[in-house]
Amino acid sequence: MSGVLDFFLGYSLPRISDFHYGCTKRFQDLPQIRLCLSYGKCSVVQKCKKAQFLLKALNLDLADHVDLHSFREECAVRSSYPNKNPLLAEACDGRDSDILPHVQTLKNFPAEELIGKVVMVRLDVTVLLREQKKQQSPVARVISTIKYLHKAGAKLILISSWSLRANLQLLKLEYVAEFLSSELELKVIPVELGSGLEQYVLEDRHKSDILLLENLSQFKQEQANCSEFARRLSSGVDIFVNDAFFQSHKILASNVGITGFCYASIAGFHFEEGMSQLKKIIEMNKRPYFAIVGGANLAGKAAALQFLASRCDGLVFVGDAAFQIMHAFGLAVPMVLVEQESLEAAHMLVETAKSKGVQLVLPKDFWCLNDHYPSQMKIFPANHIMDGWKPVDVGPNTLEEMISMLSRCKKILFIGAVKFSSSNQESAGESKLAAMLYNLSQKNCDVIVVGKQACETFVGKSSHVTVDLIENASIVWEFLKGRKLHGLLALDRAYPFELNWDAIYANTTLPLVVDVGSGNGLFLSRMAKMRKDWNFLGMEINEKLVSRCLDHVSQSGMTNGYFIAANATSTFRSIVSSYPGDLVLVSIQCPNPDFNKTEHRWRMVQRSLVEALADLLASDGKVFLQSDVKEVVVRMREEFMKYGKGKLTVMHDLEDSTSHRDEWLKENPFGIRSDWEQHVIDRGAPMYRLLLLKSSPSG
């Protein structure tokens, strides 16, 4: 069972079976429940109804521990209860939660929502131009994203930047448009980014042609993530699709700023594959797991190597980094090969490896080149390289030992170059390692190769590639260092669990009521107690509040109420659409005014939420809006009237003639007030209420 916990946390934790923290404490949060359930030894857990209830409701079992969303929940627990669980403090370092959140993807986005919409797709044209003649390249996935959107009926605008170091012919917008036209077998029209772009889009909206905007690398505003430039770029655009995953570590107007001006921002097929590849690096699904680390600049990679030391069973060093570790071990190394700025990082890594029981594998010999006679090569022991000779490749004994050790692995990460910075020639060692890794990949060993040079060497071994190849090493190193991938974080969030409605409610045929921004849950709980003929679902972004609400559900034995920690703006459709019964009422009460300004990226009522409500509400279903800030309700009403697809109308209070003039309802139609509503009324201030009705199809 200790292995299950290791797998759940994604860390190599020695003697974890002796660690029994938290099993006798009262559980406060779902993550702690999942953590304790993974031990399987605690009698308290077996009696914890809340634990069993939540896991069943979310369709979770011990096999689900690899889900990265759990780390975000666990990090929330760590910040809320900093002294309760040192295990979580070690695990939650940001790579799993903040950097790889669960986001909306094109694969899961409703295809019907694409019809007639203007969709802007962010590509990485440099990669496409370079990879166009290679097998197993990202071109196919990017092309499939564009073709899928086009077939779905979207009007497409493509944006990208391409390298100024490329062939001058390739820099021309017309050439790139012609290349994409050939790959897509669709007409791509080059368009300059100017003041007339929006008008061009409007005039061309119903045509099937695809637009390609000019090279963004020539605009300084792109690199500066200029808001005004992002606004111009997105003129007339409804939906943004990011399919340039390996640009995600950069903050650009075309991958970050633009998301503030589109009502939906989602990941394309190639982007989703990139996320999947990074997740594979940190998954602990197969052991032994070794990482082959090449290249130089150990100091700059220190945080990444510390992270790998917490995930892997062993680190195999090749390239210049090997000398820094050898020096930290006290082995004789020519000082010319020692990076002075890496001394501290090397010593810290050695200490970390010792404390965690992680094996460090170093070269035993090197092929060296004579400084004065470049044609002379000789093999030297690793700790006895003579003056006047410089290492250019790992030696035969090193390769033999590495191949023998790695042949027992079930998972291998190969990142960085084998050759040394002093060498300009191809590495024979890298070629032999590639051959060995290819053979292992045919024997149920997961192999991930990172870096342009390593990938090119590996692909040459076979036209049928069976490993994950990631040419862009920069984003992988940034990810392993714990840096945020801003292009990913800018996308809309998605809910990562498939709800088991039968485990949540006693009767799933009952009509459903959803309270968006349910807060402390008092309004919904009181409604659920009064109306046993309805089921109630609270959606709240604050996980602490949701945890308390779920405590109440468990302790009270409520069978028609439940709460979910989610951003309803982007997840409402994916969550509620699977409910078996009818959605009859949605309430949005007293949203934070600061978060509901039009320019606020995360404001609650946005087009995506309004369209989802309009589609999912049953005929004669209702939407209840209220706030003590008039401007907030007015803005929400405008959003519903603008994006409600003509399905929603304002209801009037038949007993209150004033409601026909100003539309505001005098009283709460449900007879149950939220705590904030009661507070406002007690101080004598007004509440502004609206009730919207979804007309029946015949109406």
pLDDT in tens, 177-191: 998 998 899 999 998
Is the pLDDT score of 77 beyond 90? no
Is the pLDDT score of 519 beyond 60? yes
* CA-wise closest residue to 118 among 271, 22, 31, 237: 237
- 231/526 Cα distance (integer angstroms): 44
Of the pLDDT bands very low, low, confident and very high (cuts 50, 70, 90), residue 599 is very low
Bridge partners, 267 (sequence order): 105, 242
List pLDDT tens digits, range 107-165.
988 898 899 999 999 998 887 777 654 544 567 888 999 999 999 999 999 999 987 55
List pLDDT tens digits, range 469-501.
888 899 999 999 999 899 999 998 888 777 899
Of the pLDDT bands very low, low, confident and very high (cuts 50, 70, 90), residue 57 is low
129 neighbors 138 (Cβ within 8 angstroms):
no
Is the pLDDT score of 568 beyond 50? yes
Q: What strands, in cross-sheet order, belong to the sheet with 648-651?
A: 561-565, 535-540, 512-516, 583-589, 617-627, 688-694, 648-651
Q: What is the mean pLDDT of the chain?
A: 80
If you average pLDDT over residues 664-678, what whole number do you get?
89
Of the pLDDT bands very low, low, confident and very high (cuts 50, 70, 90), residue 106 is very high
* CA-wise closest residue to 185 among 156, 205, 209: 209
Residue 539's SS3 state is: strand
Domain boundaries, the chain: 106-277, 284-462, 501-694
- 563/561 Cα distance (integer angstroms): 7
Do the domains 106-277 and 284-462 sit in the same CATH topology, yes or no? yes
Element holding 200 (H helix, E strand) = helix 197-203
- Higher pLDDT, residue 80 or 373: 373
The CATH architecture of the domain made up of 106-277 is: 3-Layer(aba) Sandwich (3.40)
- 90/78 Cα distance (integer angstroms): 10
CATH of 284-462, one of 3.40.50.1260, 3.40.50.720, 3.60.9.10, 3.40.50.300: 3.40.50.1260
- 109/229 Cα distance (integer angstroms): 27
Determine the number of helices (DSSP H) and then strands (DSSP E) in the chain.
Answer: 30, 22
- Higher pLDDT, residue 390 or 290: 290
459 class by beta-carbon count within 10 Å (0-12 exposed, 13-18 middle, 19+ buried): buried
Name residue, tokens 């990879």: 131
- Higher pLDDT, residue 267 or 260: 267
Domain 501-694, CATH: 3.40.50.150
Is the pLDDT score of 2 beyond 70? no
List pLDDT tens digits, range 368-426.
999 888 888 999 999 899 999 989 888 999 999 998 999 999 999 999 877 676 555 55
CA angle 520, 524, 526 (to 5 degrees): 105
The conformation of residue 64, written as its DSSP 8-state character, comes to: G
Number of Cβ within 10 Å of residue 273's Cβ equals: 16
Q: Give the model's pLDDT for residue 537.
A: 97
* pTM for this prediction: 0.76
Q: Give the model's pLDDT for residue 167.
A: 57
- 483/281 Cα distance (integer angstroms): 15
Length of the chain counted residue by residue: 699
Of the pLDDT bands very low, low, confident and very high (cuts 50, 70, 90), residue 92 is very low
CA distances from 67 to 72, 76, 89 (A): 10, 16, 18
Q: What does residue 377 show for φ and ψ, rounded to 5 degrees? A: -130, 145
Bridge partners, 447 (sequence order): 412
